[in-house]
Chains A and B, each alone.
Chain A
């Protein structure tokens, strides 16, 4: 019996009594006081404990107690898993110390090892262990006693994908360094691998979505003879080389639908983000430049809109739009673009206003005002060029969010309507296949393909955005 074996219910009963609560609080406070007093005895520099507030001392005392009781329960309470974990951490700590010490001895106290903080040494040792563990797991057999081991299979795919993309990004960056104009060459020289990866992926997505009709082997609505063909194109496990990524539950080619999905999902997301930036950006700049009551009205309006959870609000409005769309004869997609754009423009408004606020106080804006320039000139010629970097970075992030919102709405059934291919809908339709992961990993891949397409683009866009933010902050130094 350890302190952690008590059920929550017992605890609730215990703390339900006022007397017990006061007792515990009293003990904690006294413990904190004791802890601080002992600390003060040993703190000869008078730094840490002298001015420590009692509640912090109490919290630290509780923390100390928890750590001690964890270790106690691991070694004397028979919790083997916890004991292994603690021993493992202790081994890395010792390994890190030994690693640094050996490094200092072997390199004759080179600055790298001499000035290495302990945390960094810990990181190196932990990283090395993780790498060895990863390689060991990668080399495990795919099957055990005739049953496929899904975890090993998926891990292998992930590693292969990672290495493949890394090589592709590296080659792409290498090509960029020797092709193109001087400007782009310089850009590629300074580019980190992550950004090269991001740009490459975005480029591929763009090409695929623009030329979807040419690339896709089948139409997105084309129902073919066989349904539920397993991805991989291996007839032995139920695949078909004609449909490399298999077919869905009513026999449409998944590869074709993925390609058309890029066109629909990415295209609509792009249009929505542009609209959101047009609305949010121009209103934000106006609010910052003019200030006064206009700023107040717009800002409070945005506050109200932002107070409503975005996805639920979008869902609500989309439900209404579903009823209106046939009556008005306007496609539902149009409603979706406007609704998501308006909801997301509130975030853009906040950013544009904040950025512009810092710009409008500059002397060059004052000079332009005193010259007698009009509002349009101030906003578009003086403010906008200085706000592009943060807005561009936000554009990338916002694009991801819009994209995910569309996928979520489609998943919930109110977004892009069938038979148009859409990644969110594809995940939803094929979702139940994930249950096959344990014994038929190939089958479980079907819903993961669309989900992976979403994830890959999101990661890629974020890499590029990170890089742009880094670049724009570097310029200001």
Chain B
């Protein structure tokens, strides 16, 4: 039996700054019917480009310079637009990373769902509406009969991602390309989407290319795994072999990332004054109360991880501490003294002591300012250093975050990678010489290797400078590696809190349990076992809860 998709020694180039830069250097792969291939690598490794090339498609400013792509005996590179038009959507489908950005917000889900089958003449409108409802049911979307008649903004992110999978399935394609379909989702939602995708791919015997940078996810989904590094193929093997016996050093380093763990620290003395103490804080946006009576302490030199899914109030708690959102009740103490509720009423000293590192380094750094200006401003503002002294301090800070000052001081943020930008964010916080730093999902937008580097840097800075961190995250793997204490939040309330070791040993609060068990593990049987353990009904209930 010949392969369904055959990519042979393909070279892809992208246009940057008037020249063609290589993106993929001679990758090959073949995929049989019903097989799932996992494509992994860091961002910029060319995963998405290779995935799109399997459809014979290249983005604007990108070209396939050499090689061949054959789909079911059809040469996709030289195929006419008419031939491709007939294939794409009908026999090859694509599920994008952000369903929220890919659905047209002004059409109902079902109207977008039926477009493909009707355009391709696969079925009539009425038939494909009924089929869509059936697919929604199989993907375990709540209220499948009616959910399609909603607009994209009326359903949650995880549901939208499943609706998009249903849409890709609408013509019963032979091949689906999933481009990071769960990266933007919470762990608990991710499980539902993963299970649905896996089931439906199995049911219809569809071949799939699953692109992700999360190894644990790919372990659940793929029959075989291909690792990419900067456009080069590192290795390919079937999933179990790859996990148990990786050949290349790079693959081994990917596998080892999750092993970073900090040694435990001595217990805090009973009578110590916490650096930050959140006391019975209740806060609201307008009339919607989002924090209910939240209290926790952060001691000197400690990391407190605040975990919970999106909407649980983690970031709102941070906004109350910084004073951006003055709480309705309760207050925040710094070194035993109550801080003014509104940041505008705090003095320079109080503002300096609590700094913040943001999730999206892209929006946290002013794109029109050089690195030197960005880090130099707090130095000048708080420390009153000017000219050569200021520049010296900036260089010292760049050294501190392990970036070569000569190389980076005059660059703009757009000339840095994601991890480097995040380091600049850290340096800007350090420049104020604070006692306390809020890290708001600082690693969730980064690849695992890069994220690990950031976590190590933060840990080292804590040891040398005695900083306290409030570490907001929804990734429990990160919590395991860096936290001293954990605060679990749900619906604006603290569900459980305590030292890390206590939190990770049973018994837990039922919600903590759900969070913990939802973190994908590298074991390829993990998802199967978990679903068996929870029972599919439970999963459906979890989805219904979220309605």
A→B interface (CB under 8 Å): 44-47, 50-51, 109, 111, 114-115, 189-190, 362-364, 366-373, 382, 385-386, 388
Contacts and interface: CB of A to CB of B under 8 A. Distances in A.
A370 B366 contact: no
Nearest to B431: A371
24 contacts: A45-B121, A45-B124, A45-B125, A47-B118, A47-B125, A109-B80, A114-B80, A115-B80, A362-B364, A364-B363, A364-B365, A366-B324, A366-B356, A370-B343, A370-B356, A371-B351, A371-B378, A371-B432, A372-B348, A372-B351, A372-B381, A373-B381, A385-B366, A388-B368
A362 B367 CA distance: 11
Contacts of A190: 18
Contacts of A47: 118-119, 125
Contacts of B369: 385
Interface residues of B, number: 34
Contacts of A362: 363-364, 366
Contacts of B532: none
Contact of A385 (B18, B363, B368): B368
B121 A364 contact: no
B80 A386 contact: no
Closest 10 CB pairs of A and B: A385-B368, A115-B81, A46-B124, A363-B364, A46-B125, A363-B358, A364-B366, A363-B363, A372-B351, A47-B118
Contacts of B267: none
B278 to A, nearest CB: 17
Given A46-B124, A369-B324, 4 more contacts: A362-B364, A370-B355, A372-B346, A386-B368
B226 interface: no
Interface in B322-372: 322-324, 343, 346, 348, 351, 355-356, 358, 360, 363-369
A50 B126 CA distance: 10
B416 to A, nearest CB: 14
A385 to B, nearest CB: 4
B214 to A, nearest CB: 25
A366 B319 CA distance: 11
B80 A111 contact: yes
B131 to A, nearest CB: 13
Contact of A367 (B119, B121, B358, B382): B358
B357 to A, nearest CB: 9
A46 B127 CA distance: 10
A251 to B, nearest CB: 55
A371 B126 CA distance: 59
Kindly name the residue among B82, B367, B432 whose own CB sees the greatest number of chain A CB atoms within 10 A: B367
A106 B118 CA distance: 36
Nearest to B413: A364
Contacts of A366: 324, 356
A189 B17 CA distance: 11
Interface string B453-484: 00000000000000000000000000000000
Contact of B118 (A45, A115, A363, A371): A45
A189 B343 contact: no
Nearest to A114: B80
Given A114-B80, A115-B81, A363-B364, A370 B324 contact: yes
A47 B364 CA distance: 47
B428 interface: yes
A225 to B, nearest CB: 59
Contact of B126 (A46, A189, A388): A46
Given A45-B125, A370-B324, A370-B343, A363 B360 contact: yes
B283 to A, nearest CB: 17
Contacts of A386: 366-368
Nearest to A189: B18
B322 A370 contact: yes
Contacts of B358: 363, 367
A367 B356 contact: yes
Nearest to B359: A363
A68 B443 CA distance: 65
Contacts of B367: 386
Contacts of B80: 109, 111, 114-115
Contacts of A385: 366, 368-369
A232 B363 CA distance: 60
A50 B129 CA distance: 13
A47 B111 CA distance: 11
Nearest to A383: B366
B343 A369 contact: yes
B238 to A, nearest CB: 38
Kindly name the residue among A109, A368, A372 whose own CB sees the greatest number of chain B CB atoms within 10 A: A372
Contacts of A46: 118, 124-126
A373 B378 CA distance: 10
Contacts of B324: 366, 369-370
Nearest to B118: A47
Contact of A50 (B121, B125, B356): B125
Interface in B75-122: 80-82, 118-119, 121
A361 to B, nearest CB: 9
Kindly name the residue among A111, A364, A368, A385 whose own CB sees the greatest number of chain B CB atoms within 10 A: A364
B171 to A, nearest CB: 13
A157 B158 CA distance: 65
Nearest to A186: B18
Given A45-B121, A385-B369, A114 B381 contact: no
B354 to A, nearest CB: 8
A190 B19 CA distance: 12
B547 to A, nearest CB: 28
Kindly name the residue among A109, A111, A371, A373 whose own CB sees the greatest number of chain B CB atoms within 10 A: A371
A370 B118 CA distance: 54
Contacts of A372: 346, 348, 351, 381
Contacts of B81: 114-115
A382 B377 CA distance: 11
A46 B121 CA distance: 10
A120 to B, nearest CB: 12
A363 B121 CA distance: 48
B499 to A, nearest CB: 30
Given A46-B118, A47-B118, A111-B80, A382 B378 contact: no
